[in-house]
Amino acid sequence: MAMILDAFLSKFSELLMQMVQEEVGMLLGIPGQIEKLDETVRDIQCVLADAERRQSTSSAIERWLMKLKDVMYDADEVIDLCLIKAKEDPATSSSRSSLNAHCGCHFLSCFRNPSFAHKIGSKIKEINLRLEEIAKSKANLGLAILPGTFDQGSRVDSVMRRKTDPSIVLADIAGKKIEEDTELLVNWLTQEENDGCENVRVCGIVGMGGIGKTTLAKRIFNDRRIEGFQLKIWVCISKEVRIVEVFKCLIRGAQGDHGAVHVQERSELVPLLESLVQGKKFLFVLDDVWEESQAVLKDWLRAPMSRGAHGSRLLVTTRDGNVANRMGASKSHRVKKLSDEDGWSLLVKQVFQNEKESEIEEFKQIGLQLVEKCDGLPLAIKSIGGVLYMKPKTKGEWQAVLRSDVWSKDGLPKDVHRALYLSYEDLSSPLKQCFIFCSLFPEDFFYRKSYIIYMWLAEGFLPNKRDFWNLGTGHYTELVLRNLLEEIGTNQYGEKSLKMHDLLWSFARHLGKNENCVLREASDVKTEGSQKIRRLSIEGNEVNSRVIRKEKGLRTLLLHHSKPEIGLDDLCKALSNLRILDLSESNFSILPNSLCDLVHLRYLDVKRSEVTELPNSIGNFKYLVYLNLSFCSNLSHVPQNIINLQELKFLDITESRIEKIPAGLKKLDKLIELHGFQPYQNNLEGFSSLDELETLSNLIILSLECLEKVSDMNLAKQANLLSKDQLRELTLGYTTLSSEQQLSQTNEKKMTTENVLNELRPPPCVQSVTIENYFGAHLPNWLNSGAYLPNLKYLWIDDCACYEEVASLGLLPNLEFLGVFGADSVVNIGEEFLLGGIQSRDSTTMSCSVKPAFPKLRKLCFFFMQNWKEWQWNKEQPAMPNLKILDIYNCPHLRSLPEGLSHHATSLESLDIRGADNLINVGNLKVQTMELWKSEMETLPEYLTTIMAQKLEINRCTERLLSKIVSQEETGSERIKFKHIPKVTINGAKTFLSGTLVDSDHS
C-alpha cells in the first residue's frame, strides 16, 4: 500500500541525507546523483496519500504503486549491502554516527574497495533513472498533495505517548442479549434428552461475519456448566480447510498420541479419534465452518461422533444457515445485530475508561450515529471504538470520524465493512505495515508478542536501535487497543498470545495481496502482472520448492511443518534477499553452508525441527537478530563462531541437547532474550559459565537451566544480575529430578546450591521470577525482603521438594501472583510466611497501624504439597486484602484453612479445592464461587455448612455420593448444607436453588 511506501521512503530519504553529508556521491563517481535521488523521493512521497486513497478505483494508480514498490525494494537491498559492507570493516567498529541509526557506522568505509564502489554507484544510477520515470508519470495520473499529509504521523505518535499502557483490556461484549443467548444454548447443550435420539446432537450458531458468533461460542465453551463433558475441544475451521489438520487438532484435544502429527491418511486418523472418544461424553466446537468444508467434515466425523456417549454435542458456528442444516443441526440459533443502545454501550466500553457518566453522555448523539453506520456489527463498532480511543475526546474528533469519506468508499472486498477500512486508514505508516504483516500467518494462527516484534525488526519495520523493543511494544499495544489484534490467553509470565479476527485477516491479506502470499501448498503462487512476491508463508506437507525458487525477491519465507521436495541448499542459493527464514517444525536435518551466504538474513527459526548441526560459518551473519534452536532434540552443539553474532538479540536453546556454549558469550552484548542457557561448571575449559553474563546488560528475559552444574558461588557473583536494569523476567532452573532424587542430595550439595542461588540476586526492576526443580533447603535470601524486589509481580516456585518452609514473602509490595508446586518437605506454613506486618506510626496522633502482608496479591496457588498439614495465620495479622483467587490442588493432609484468611481476605471471589479430601474446616469464608472436586469421599464435607458462597460447583464426585445427594431418603439431610448457598451445580447436571432440587436429569 502507498502509506507503507511512505514509511519505506522516509527511511530511504534519511539514509540518502547521510550519504549527501558524507559526500558519498563523489566517492562513487556519481556527483549530484544522490542529491537528485533524494529530491525525486521527496517529490513522490508528497502524493502517496492520494495514491492510496484512489488505488482501489484506478488500476493505473495501482500499477504505478506496484512499480514504485519494486524500485524501493531494490533500493533497500542496495542500502543493506552498504551497511553490511561497513559492518565488515573493523575500522568502523568504534565509529558512531548520530545520523545513521541503522548501523552505527559511517558509509564512507563501505567504498574503499573500488569494485564494490563501482557496483553500488551503478545501482544508484539505475534506481535514479527508474524513479525519475515513475515521478514523471504521476502527473498523468492526476495525483495531488492532500491536506495534512505530513501531519498524521506526529499526531498519532503524540497520542500514543498518552496511550501505551499494555495492561488496559477493552471489553468485547455489551447488552443482555448475549447473556440470554448463552443461557439458552448452554441449557440446550446440557439437557439430557430421553427420546432415543442419536448419541450426538448438533447445534448451529449462525450469523454474518463480525456479528459475534465466535464470542458467543466462547462464552458457552467456558461456561462452568459445561464441565459435565468429559472432553471439550475447540477447533477453528478456516475457509481453506485441511481436514487432516482438523482431525489432528481433535486428536490432540482428546489427549491422543502425538504420533498422529505425522499421519496423513484418513484410514488412520478416523479410527484413532474413534478410540479416543469411545464411550465419552464430548463437546466439539467447530468455529467458522464454510460451505466448501461442511460436506467432508460431516463425512469424516460421522463414525467418531457415533462412538461418543449419549449426551455428546457438536457446536458449529457458520455464516451460512444451510451449512448448519447440512451438518445435521437439530437446533439453529441466529445471532442478531446489536440494538442501538447495546451498540452504544459496546462503543462506550471501547473508548472510555474513567470518565464520568455525564461526560460520556455528551457524546451519545454522535455515538449513536456511528453505531448506525456500523450496522449493529460488534466487530465494526469495536474497530471504530479503537479509532476513537486513540484520539482526544472532543466532539470535533468524533464528528471528523462521522464525516469521513471512507463511509462512502467503494472497491472494498466483500464482507469488509467500511469501519474496518477507516480503522486501518487512521494508522500511521509504520503501523500499517506491521498490521498487514500479521496476515502472513495462517488464518486462526496464535503467536506471541515477542515473536512478531522480532519479525517486524527483521523486515525493517522497526529501526535497529537500542529502544526497538519499546517501540515494537508500542506498535503491538496500539494495534490491540485499536482492536486490530486480539489478545487470547496468557502464559505464566503474563504475556498474551495474539490472533486476528478472520475478517480482519482477510482484509489485511487483501491490502498486501501484491507482495504477501499465504498458501496451503506451494503449487499456486500467483502474482498480478510483473509484481514480485516478497513474503511467502506455506503451511503444508509436500512443498514444491521449484515454485519457491522462482520468487527471487522473497524477503520472508515461512515454511510451517513443511517438507520440501528438494534440498534447502537449492533454496538458499536461489533466494539471496531473505531477511526472515522460519523452518520451525520442518524435517530438515542439516542446515547447509549456503545458508550463511544469505547476507541479509536477520531472523532464523528452526525450533522443533530435526536439525542435527549448524553450519560452521554461522558467525558470518552480520545482522542476525533472532536465532531460535529450542526443542531441537537432535542438536547437541553449536559452532565456535556463534559468538560472532554481535547483533543477536534473541537466542533460545531451551529443550535442545546443547549443554555448552563456546566461551565468549559475553561478546553478545546486544542480547535482550536468552533462553535455556546451561552455564558450564567453570570458565577454564573453553565454555561459557555464569561469569559471561556480566556484560549482557541489555537482557530483558533470562532463563537459566542446569544450575546445579555450577559449584563456584564466585561465578554466580560475577554474573552480576543485580546490575541488569532492563531485566523483567528471570527463570532459575535445575535438572528435573524426582522428589526422591532431590531429597537424597547430600547436605553439602544442597548448601552449595543455596549459595549459588543467593548470589544470583536479580535487580529491583524484575517483575517475574520462576524457580524450577531447586533442591536447596531454603529459598534465596533475596526473596525474604520486599526492599530487594519492589517490582516483583509474579513468583512461581515449581517442583522444589527439599525446601522446608515457605519463605517470608509478605513484604513483597507488588506481588500479584504466587504459586507453590511440589513442595513435599513443607509440613507447616506458619506466621513467618506472612512476615510483613510492618508497624507505621502517625506523627500527629502517635498511633500505630500495621500494614498488611501481601498487599496486592490477587491469586495464590498451592499445588501437590503431599505433606502439608497446617496453615497458621491468626486474625491479628492483616494480609492479602486484595486476594481474588485461592487454588488448593492435591494437598491430601491439609485439615483446615486459617482463621486469618476469612477475617482479612475479604476480596476473595473464587475458592477451588481439588484433592484435599481431609480438609474439614475453612472458617467463615465469603466467596462468589467455590469449586469442589471430589474423587473418593462418600460424604460432603461439613465445612459446606459454614462457607458463604453465591455459587457452589461440585465436580467429579462419585456416583455413590451423587446418588446419595439426590436420592429421596437422603436428600433432606444433604440439602441442609445448601440452604445458605443460592446456586449449587453438581457434575454440571444438578442444580439446587436455595436448597430445592430443580433439575434431576442425571443419568
| pLDDT one-digit tens code per residue, 675-718 | 999 999 887 788 999 999 999 999 999 999 999 988 889 999 99
Helices (H), 729-872: 739-743, 747-759
**Residue with cell string 482484509:** 507
Mean pLDDT over each residue of the chain, to the nearest integer: 80
Lowest mean pLDDT among 209-218, 364-373, 847-856: 847-856
The alpha carbon of residue 40 and the mean position of all alpha carbons in its chain are separated, in whole angstroms, by 41
Distance CA 220, CA 201 (A): 16
Distance CA 333, CA 338 (A): 15
Choice between 393 and 941, residue whose per-residue pLDDT is larger: 393
Residue 957 has pLDDT above 70, yes or no: no
H-helix or E-strand containing 64? helix 59-88
> Is the distance from CB of 696 to CB of 738 less than 8 angstroms?
no
The arithmetic mean of pLDDT across residues 775-794, rounded, is 87
Residue 168 has pLDDT above 50, yes or no: no
Question: If DSSP codes are grouped into helix, strand and coil, which group holds residue 138?
Answer: helix
Lowest mean pLDDT among 268-277, 361-370, 981-990: 981-990
Residue 118 has pLDDT above 50, yes or no: yes
Q: What is the pLDDT of residues 522-551, one digit of tens each?
A: 555 655 545 688 998 887 656 666 778 888
Lowest mean pLDDT among 332-346, 532-546, 595-609, 743-757: 532-546
The arithmetic mean of pLDDT across residues 322-333, rounded, is 85
Choice between 789 and 739, residue whose per-residue pLDDT is larger: 789
Q: What is the pLDDT of residues 80-104, one digit of tens each?
A: 887 777 776 544 444 433 334 444 4
pLDDT of residue 998: 40
Question: If DSSP codes are grouped into helix, strand and coil, which group holds residue 334?
Answer: strand
Phi, psi of 997 (to 5 degrees): -70, 120
Amino acid sitting at position 115: S
The alpha carbon of residue 532 and the mean position of all alpha carbons in its chain are separated, in whole angstroms, by 31
**Residues of the chain with pLDDT > 70: what percent?**
79
Lowest mean pLDDT among 482-496, 906-920, 929-943: 482-496
Q: What is the pLDDT of residues 845-866, one digit of tens each?
A: 544 556 899 999 999 999 999 9
106 falls in which pLDDT band (50, 70, 90)?
A: low
992 falls in which pLDDT band (50, 70, 90)?
A: very low
pLDDT of residue 277: 79
Q: Which residues of 126-155 are buried (b: 16+ CB within 10 A; e: fewer)?
A: ebbebbeebbeebeebebeebeebeebbee
Distance CA 890, CA 78 (A): 62
The arithmetic mean of pLDDT across residues 438-454, rounded, is 81
154 falls in which pLDDT band (50, 70, 90)?
A: very low
402 falls in which pLDDT band (50, 70, 90)?
A: very high
